[in-house]
Amino acid sequence: MSASVSPYLYPELTYVASGEYETARLAAALAKVCIAGDLVRLIGELGAGKSTFSKHFIQTLGHVGDVPSPTYTLVQTYADTRFPLAHVDCYRMKQPEELDGLGLEDYRKFGVLLVEWPEKGSALVADGQPDFLDYYVNSIENPGTLTLTFESGSSPLSRVIRLTASPSWQRRFGLLGKMGITFEGATLNRAVSDAGREAFLAGLGHAGCRIESNPADWSSRSYARVYLDNTASGPTRILMDSPPPVESVAEYAQVADYYRGIGIRAAEIYGRNDAEGYLLTEDFGNTQLWELVKDGAPCTEWYKAAADGLVEQCLSHEVSGAPEWARRYAPKDWWVEVARFVNWYMPYARGRACTLDEHARWQEMWLPLFQTIMQQPKGLMMWDCQTPNLMVLGEEPKLENLGWIDIQDARVASVAQDLALLLRNIRSVQDDVREAEVLAYVAGKLNVDLTALTHAVDICSLHHSCRILGGLVRLHVRDGRSAPAASYLARTWEVARQSASSPELAAIWAFMEPWEVPGLTRLWKETQGKAA
């Protein structure tokens, strides 16, 4: 049973607000899922509700105080919001070119453009612009375009608001359903339920099986163990529950098939439903490599075994290239991931947005490093090669005794990226891992310069740390999930510090370091005494 089109994607939605309160609820919800680089367009006649929406949207992003109309000034900018924001009103413009020269391009790149009467503006604020990335991954922020058209409703205070969304926004609409926002005739996200899981299994001939839920990870995905004959000693499977539109399962299945074809143990797929986001896979058991090594077991040889998998990915790519469907890592991906630090962590640490100049400096420091890391061998890297995602399937440390999970975000990228995640894990202090020995092992296998590979790992490790720092704050601030930040924010700074001595990264570290203590202090104040 499989379907390729999600029923939870809506290019257009209709929201009915009976008064200002409901318009404010929509504005607040959209602000929470808005990301740097977004264009939000407001269309409607005078008095239709655009100003009301703008006020609540901007205040939800952190502005304290009034929100004056930019009708006469054309542009009103904000720096106390989560990211730089420009509120634009094109109503009195006589020529679209009047927007040129106002610096709005920088807000389009690094902040948010909130535009009233965009139909009078230039191409910068036009509808139909492509998303920044041509694919969607829940963990990666992909700016897009959202248009809201305001119309009078059935009563003097009511409004009908029609939302037209780019693909990235259509995926994010799934987050609105979790906030209690409803639209006419639309189901924004598939609910997680025992009934849904049981129906999927029944369709595969496994009706009545016992289902035992496993702890969820940091994403919207969850997992359960399925006992096929309802006994503890009988055959089992793993049910991946990835509710669309925020998550999906198709990518996991594609990567798993490819990995098995090159000798890496990825789970066999026994059934899938792409439209509803269910996948039934082989069960690799309960022993994560993380659990094994954190108890003090000698682990350098296990890390070499994992490195063998990364080497195999590179060698296979060198011989056969990447599958046509595979994502290719590009400077855009590199940027949106590391931008999390200036979009989420720094505003949290100091209570206001980074300036446009700070965003530009951060980008200028990072983009040239992409070419450095891509000079290393490449393959279809799993992108999350960490010890919790490597399952131990036998006693001897060798590649065939490792099961690779959480592989759905794989992309063609530098081997240094997954080596950095493997060797510098935020979940544990791995003093017994001889990092230099593992790197020398990989350099020999791939016939590359060890110094250059080590430098690339330093770069990638700091890049990952910036991405994770921002992601942990996003979970805490936007999603109300504080446990990951409370557990790992300080440790992520420790990992980041491992790259600080690299001369090429000195300017980046100098930019970051002042915000370590303010961020950790604020988190401690907000989470002390609360259960993680």
Distance, C-alpha 219 to centroid of its chain: 9
> What whole-number distance in Å separates Cα of residue 409 and Cα of residue 418?
12
Distance, C-alpha 240 to centroid of its chain: 19
**pLDDT tier, 292 (very low <50, low <70, confident <90, very high otherwise):** confident
| Per-domain boundaries in the chain | 12-177, 194-242+248-282, 289-527
Give residue-wise pLDDT tens across range 175-187: 998 899 999 999 9
Give the model's pLDDT for residue 2. 39
Q: Who has greater pLDDT, 291 or 455?
A: 455
Per-residue pLDDT, averaged over 276-281, amounts to 97
pLDDT at 388 over 80: yes
Are 410 and 274 in contact, with CB atoms under 8 Å apart? no
Give the model's pLDDT for residue 68. 92
**What are 217-223's contacts with CB under 8 Å, separation 24+?**
217/406, 218/471, 218/475, 218/481, 218/484, 219/138, 219/139, 219/247, 220/138, 220/246, 220/247, 221/247, 222/192
Give the model's pLDDT for residue 3. 41
pLDDT at 190 over 60: yes
Give the model's pLDDT for residue 84. 95
- Look up residue 67 and give its two tokens: 């929100």
Q: Which CATH architecture has domain 194-242+248-282?
A: 2-Layer Sandwich (3.30)
Give the model's pLDDT for residue 528. 83
**pLDDT tier, 97 (very low <50, low <70, confident <90, very high otherwise):** confident
Per-residue pLDDT, averaged over 446-466, amounts to 97
Q: What CATH class has 12-177?
A: alpha beta
Give the model's pLDDT for residue 4. 53
Quick one: what percent of the chain has pLDDT higher than 90?
82
pLDDT at 216 over 80: no
Give the model's pLDDT for residue 276. 95
**pLDDT tier, 1 (very low <50, low <70, confident <90, very high otherwise):** very low
Give residue-wise pLDDT tens across range 389-443: 999 999 999 999 999 999 999 999 999 999 999 999 888 665 556 889 999 999 9
Quick one: what percent of the chain has pLDDT higher than 70?
96
> What whole-number distance in Å separates Cα of residue 159 and Cα of residue 154?
8
Give the model's pLDDT for residue 295. 64
DSSP secondary structure of 174-243: HHHHTTT---TT---SPPP-HHHHHHHHHHTT-TT-EEEEPPP-SSS-EEEEEETTSSTTS-EEEEEE--
pLDDT at 371 over 60: yes
Output the pTM of the full model.
0.93
- CATH 3.40.50.1100 assigned to 289-527: no
Give residue-wise pLDDT tens across range 27-75: 999 999 999 999 999 999 998 899 999 999 999 999 999 999 998 889 9
DSSP structure class, residue 288: B
Give the model's pLDDT for residue 429. 62
**pLDDT tier, 532 (very low <50, low <70, confident <90, very high otherwise):** very low
> What whole-number distance in Å separates Cα of residue 503 and Cα of residue 511?
14
Give the model's pLDDT for residue 282. 98
Indicate the average pLDDT of the chain.
92
Give the model's pLDDT for residue 432. 53
